């Protein structure tokens, strides 16, 4: 683990999360989570359904609060980091406002921050270019396919130039073909922006292809059971999926996920 607090983009220190504490249906979602994410890393969290991986992401985003332990983002408490707009977030659903055109959806976080109109429009255009949605600025969300909507949602998350990008199964609702293409695009965006990414997923292939590190979580109560370092060269592409290291990493994750089902510390 890293000694210097400043160099960790995300730091969780012995974090527990218990839902409905003190009531009859108390649920221990997360237990003894220690995590450091260094700048520029792409860290995936994978685990069985209901293992608390989304909760872990929400803890980092200060969308839920830990029952015990400390969550630091950019060296400050998670709440302060959220108020400072230190991170961008992408959910499984694109969550675009149907009454806003695509460009107005993308610039929403800038609007909330009070950025001047000319500036935010320019920034939004640039981002739409990056996610290959140029020409769709004035379209409305319902006029776009699911994959395109999710790309707009990624552009929105990047609008504030965050050092950290939180992604909660962003491609979970897409078909396999679109998903692979989106993985490629996300990889390129990650390389270009050098943003740190915390990525929750169900898909082993996706995790291995994108990540520098994969956290395998156990079934509830969720714990980080194993960490897989992915030593695949960057930039990655179609050839990556044929490399031996790719298969090895995939196998390692799969084996640990199999253990995760019955795992109790």
Partner 1 sequence: MDAVTGKQTQIRKTQTRFSLRPLPHPVRQALSLLVVFILLALIWEGVKWIGGDMWRPESNPFGISHDPPFRFKIASDLNLPHLWDIFEAFGNASRRNGPPLIAVLFDASVFTFREAVVGFLLGGLLGFILGTLFAHVTLLNRGCMPYVVASQTIPILAIAPMVVIWLKAGWVSVAVIAAYLTFFPVTINTLRGLRSPDPTALEMMRAYAASRWDVMWKLRFPAALPYIFTALKISATASIVGAIIGELPSGIRGGLGGAILNFNSYYISGPSRLWATIIASAVVGIAFYLLVTAVEAYILRNRQVAGDAGKL
Which residues bind to partner 1, rule: CB under 8 A? Answer: 58, 61, 63, 82-85, 87, 89, 91, 93-99, 101, 108-109, 111-113, 135-136, 139-146, 148-149, 160, 166
> Which residues are CB-neighbours of 9 under 8 A, at least 6 positions away?
37, 38, 39, 41, 73, 74, 163, 164, 196
At its nearest, how many Å lie between partner 1 and the CB of residue 142? 4
**Gyration radius of the chain over CA positions:** 18
At its nearest, how many Å lie between partner 1 and the CB of residue 22? 22
- Residue (38 or 139) nearer to partner 1, CB: 139
Q: How far apart are CA 59 and CA 114, in angstroms?
A: 26
At its nearest, how many Å lie between partner 1 and the CB of residue 200? 14
- Residue (169 or 250) nearer to partner 1, CB: 169
- Residue (179 or 236) nearer to partner 1, CB: 179
> Which residues are CB-neighbours of 55 under 8 A, at least 6 positions away?
17, 29, 30, 64, 222
At its nearest, how many Å lie between partner 1 and the CB of residue 78? 11
- Residue (12 or 57) nearer to partner 1, CB: 57
At its nearest, how many Å lie between partner 1 and the CB of residue 107? 11
Indicate the helix (H) or strand (E) that contains 118. helix 117-130
Q: How far apart are CA 53 and CA 218, in angstroms?
A: 10
- Report the relative pairing of strands 87-90 and 164-168 from DSSP bridges: parallel
- Residue (143 or 161) nearer to partner 1, CB: 143
Lookup result for tokens 């499984």:
92
């Amino acid at each position: 683990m890293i000694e210097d607090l400043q160099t960790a983009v995300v730091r969780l220190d012995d974090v527990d999360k218990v839902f409905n504490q003190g009531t009859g249906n108390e649920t221990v979602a997360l237990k003894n989570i220690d995590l450091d994410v260094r700048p520029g890393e792409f860290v995936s969290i994978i685990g069985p359904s209901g293992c608390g991986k989304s909760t872990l992401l929400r803890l980092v985003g200060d969308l839920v609060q830990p029952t015990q332990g400390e969550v630091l983002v950019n060296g400050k408490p998670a709440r302060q980091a959220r108020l400072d707009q230190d991170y961008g977030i992408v959910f499984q659903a694109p969550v675009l406002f149907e009454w806003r055109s695509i460009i107005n959806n993308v610039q929403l976080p800038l609007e909330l921050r009070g950025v001047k109109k000319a500036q935010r429009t320019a920034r939004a255009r640039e981002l739409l270019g990056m996610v290959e949605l140029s020409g769709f600025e004035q379209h409305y969300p319902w006029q776009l396919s699911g994959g395109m909507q999710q790309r707009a949602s990624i552009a929105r998350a990047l609008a504030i130039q965050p050092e950290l990008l939180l992604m909660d199964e962003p491609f979970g609702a897409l078909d396999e073909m679109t998903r692979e293409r989106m993985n490629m695009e996300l990889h390129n965006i990650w390389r270009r922006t050098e943003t740190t990414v915390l990525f929750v997923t169900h898909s082993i292939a996706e995790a291995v292809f994108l990540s520098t590190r994969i956290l395998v979580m156990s079934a509830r109560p969720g714990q980080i059971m194993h960490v897989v370092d992915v030593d695949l060269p960057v930039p990655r592409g179609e050839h990556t999926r044929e490399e031996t290291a790719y298969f090895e990493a995939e196998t390692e994750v799969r084996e640990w996920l199999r253990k995760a089902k019955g795992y109790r510390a």
